Chains A and B, each alone.
Chain A
Amino acid sequence: MAALTPYTFIQCPCSDSSTLGRPSDANPAANATNDDDEEADEDNRTFDPRAPRSNFSLYPLEYLLYCEDCHQIRCPRCVSEEIASYYCPSCLFEVPSSNLKSEGNRCTRNCFQCPICIGPLAVTSVETKPDPSLLAAPDNAAAPHSGPYALTCSYCHWTSTEAGLKFDRPNNIHAQLTKLRNGGLTRLTARERRERRKDPAYRAHLAAAAAVAVAAASEDVDDVEERGRGPGIEEKESLDVETQFANLKSFYQAQLANPNSSDTGLTGLGDLGFSSPTSLSRIMSIYTGGSLRDKKAKSRVGAMREALDADEGFQPARLDESAAIAALQAHGFDGTSSTAQLAEQPVNIGEPAFPHGQAHFASDLRPVPHLLRTKRSKRCPVCRHIISKPEAKVQTTRFRIRLVAGSYIPSIAIRPLALSPIPNTSSSFSSTSAPIPTSTSASASGPAIPGALLEPLRPAHFVLTFKNPIFESVKITLGAPAHTPGRFSSKVTVLCPEFQIDANTDVWDEALKEGLATTGGGAASGERDPRERRRRRGGTEDGSQSGINPTTQLEVGKIWERGRNWVSIVVEVVPPSLSTLPSGGGDSGLPLQEDEDVLEIPLFVRVEWEAEMGGDEVGSVMPGVGGSKEKGEGREKRELAYWCVLGLGRIRR
């Protein structure tokens, strides 16, 4: 069983079902009243970290953002994203969004991925292929680089010649590739195709091209298909999807424009716009059951005929799959392309053998141009303020604006607390029946090693260290259910549910102060090891360790230790026995579910502080934003409340 590192997840308030859709006044702090006991009574609802819904609302602190205007946590689910720029992850070239519309969402600058293993492809000359293991041999540089060229993967040694793709020039591969069909045939545009059909030499040319295709393509798919098709050139002509669509479109447009089937109210389908009143009436007629439908339209539909030949976009279905079967027999399952590989493939519109872009065999796979990625800025969905904005330049990873929650709400660190000495375990066991959090229960043993298993029915103690990131001192109120929800309920006691954390003041100021020994908890180095700090503090305050040993002292209502901008408190838990024997309980006979042995306690955290009233705080005028506010002279009271989940450890089975 893997050891469990203690963790803290924070529930974004947006997932509160009672406030869905209105996150602005959805501050649970408004619901949560002054006392956490009252709060529990009032809501009568304890956050259950094991509820299936909770999976989608719990985030580590690092994932959360914070809106300064709404004074609210924002999680990945409750921000609206805007695409700032598109770029290629391979060449880091920013693609203007206008290009995106015309050229698609893939890099057009010779960035290709291997269709087999997604490794990057390099352009190499087919004749003098430099070996990837060769370390810059001087002779190699002198080697003549002449065409044809191919794309090769230096990892799995795939080469585009396997799909019959060779390039004349080493640059502008993307443009060359779009004109190439597998096997090296040129793909024609619709106009070229039309022009060529008029050419008398086309018949001979087509036959030659087919022969080339047969020779070049390693598989015999084309071969069989060529034979399978009829002798007539009209039947033999196979269209790629683009041409077929263009032909079909022009054919049906011609049909609609046909005078003997014309309708005064309706133009061609291609011109159908949703803004025109005729289209609207047409759509209405569809939904209203034909009351508006005129009979003319019906008769017009009846007058239309279907496409008859390749010129009109007619393509007979290829039912002869013997070639595919033969190839499957020859290459086996390994020769077929996987679903993942097919998903990576750009829609391949050039291949008559697989008109819908689906290559059935690995040998049909084409190089994959890199998919573009985006940089996104994030906005608060309520006030529309930007809370995260990356630098526009693709090469930089910096952010212009990034309001991370970690710099607004206190972080919670969990550390198991070993109480020394452990006098006798039996007494601690007896205290489990009623774990009164007095100093007597300090004799209980806790797992000293982080990640150690928790003993069932034996109190364990954890030190929670709250660290205040803001420059105001904050008041924290904690609320935890006495019994964790779930089948195996642990008893939880927060020994100090209410405390104050000092402001995150300047480190150097604090260091100077500590030099004068004015404050007890100050230290220059932030919080390094709290234990070390305590020892040091004990030394400075008492001059000796003669006082009560703080490691054995657990008192209700007392904080464990405090520092410059942090406070540690102790939580006592009594893990349940994970025995699944049917001991009378209704569903206790079920086997232990996955991670049901993890001790997770829900903790309601309420943070209150007083902040400067910003001049630009428009939001503070609005009621209900950011919880209750009492406007004083330039100061206002703020509060923030949320549930979080502390994963403390696994319970021994």
Chain B
Amino acid sequence: MSKRHSLHPGSSSNTAAPPKPPVHLSSSLTIADSTLLAGTHTISLHGETVIHPRARIESHLGRVSVGRKCIVHERAVLGAAPVSSSSAAAAVVRRGGGGDGASGGDGAPAGVTLADYVTVEVAAVIEAGETVVGEGTVVGVGSRVGAGAVIGKHCTLTPHSEIAAGEVVPDSTVVYANGMRRTDKRGVAELKNKTMARQIDMLRRMIPSNPAKFA
């Protein structure tokens, strides 16, 4: 996508007139005008979540569900097409295809499920295919989470981390330095949630929300 297009994703999508995906938006959601929602399956965005401008949420391959008090930053992509389709398919088969996501199921396969307090930072990509990101996890700048990966609670993916398709990352894991793993022993989950709530308060004042555009 060229830069010019990405600056005005709304207009380009309007002119091309693709069908709007069915959405389930919370009333307390903050979603920027230039966010791009695309796809055919349901996109549910839950309460007090903040979607930054130019974030992209695609539900071509399955439902996308974002929990409460999540922050999805600029140019982050939820539900991207898997890079290697075979591994994604394998992941789906392995996990039995059960929709363990949040509410709003329309019988379709779950694409991406973010639990509460998840931060998806700038230009991070989460592939579709029953990918689950646990509560309080931070997906760092430019990271890529493969299709079918299951990331536990309070994990940290440092910038440009890669999680392979179908991988299971235990709770409180820090993925750093080209795939090194360690366990976060700070035990500051509560504190992080509090600071995140404060951050969301601030962002809600700063980002003009336009949920009506996507409804």
Contact = CB atoms under 8 A, between A and B. Distances in A.
B186 A137 contact: no
A125 to B, nearest CB: 11
Contact of B177 (A117, A130, A162): A117
A162 B187 CA distance: 11
A139 B186 CA distance: 21
B191 interface: yes
Interface in B165-208: 174, 176-177, 180-182, 184-186, 188, 191-192, 195-196, 198-199, 202
Contacts of B184: 157
B119 A133 contact: yes
B174 A157 contact: yes
B202 A137 contact: yes
A135 interface: yes
B158 interface: yes
Given A117-B176, A117-B177, A133-B119, A128 B198 contact: no
B34 interface: no
A463 interface: no
A131 B174 contact: no
Interface string B116-154: 000100000000000000000010000000000000000
B11 to A, nearest CB: 30
Contact of B181 (A134, A161, A334): A334
The A interface, classified by DSSP as helix, strand, loop or mixed, is loop
A78 B8 CA distance: 60
Interface string A244-282: 000000000000000000000000000000000000000
* Among A130, A131, A152, residue most surrounded by chain B Cβ atoms (within 10 Å): A131
A157 B195 contact: no
Contacts of A128: 191
B195 A134 contact: yes
B156 interface: yes
Contact of B196 (A130, A131, A140): A131
Interface string B40-75: 000000000000000000000000000000000000
Contacts of B138: 133
Nearest to A331: B183
Contacts of A362: 182
Contacts of B186: 129, 152, 157, 159, 161
B199 A137 contact: yes
A116 interface: yes
A162 B138 CA distance: 21
Nearest to B201: A137
A128 B119 CA distance: 21
Contact of B192 (A117, A131, A155, A161): A131
Given A129-B188, A156-B176, A157-B156, A137 B182 contact: no
Contact of A131 (B158, B180, B181, B195): B195
Contacts of A334: 181-182
Contacts of A162: 185
A161 to B, nearest CB: 8
A233 to B, nearest CB: 34
Interface string B2-29: 0000000000000000000000000000
18 contacts: A128-B191, A129-B186, A129-B188, A129-B191, A130-B195, A131-B191, A134-B199, A137-B198, A139-B198, A140-B195, A140-B198, A155-B158, A156-B174, A156-B176, A156-B177, A158-B182, A334-B181, A362-B182
Given A129-B191, A134-B195, 5 more contacts: A130-B195, A131-B195, A131-B196, A134-B198, A156-B180
Interface of A: 116-117, 128-131, 133-135, 137, 139-140, 152, 155-159, 161-162, 334, 362
List 9 tightest A-B contacts by C-beta distance, closest first: A131-B195, A156-B176, A134-B195, A157-B184, A137-B198, A157-B174, A159-B186, A162-B185, A129-B188
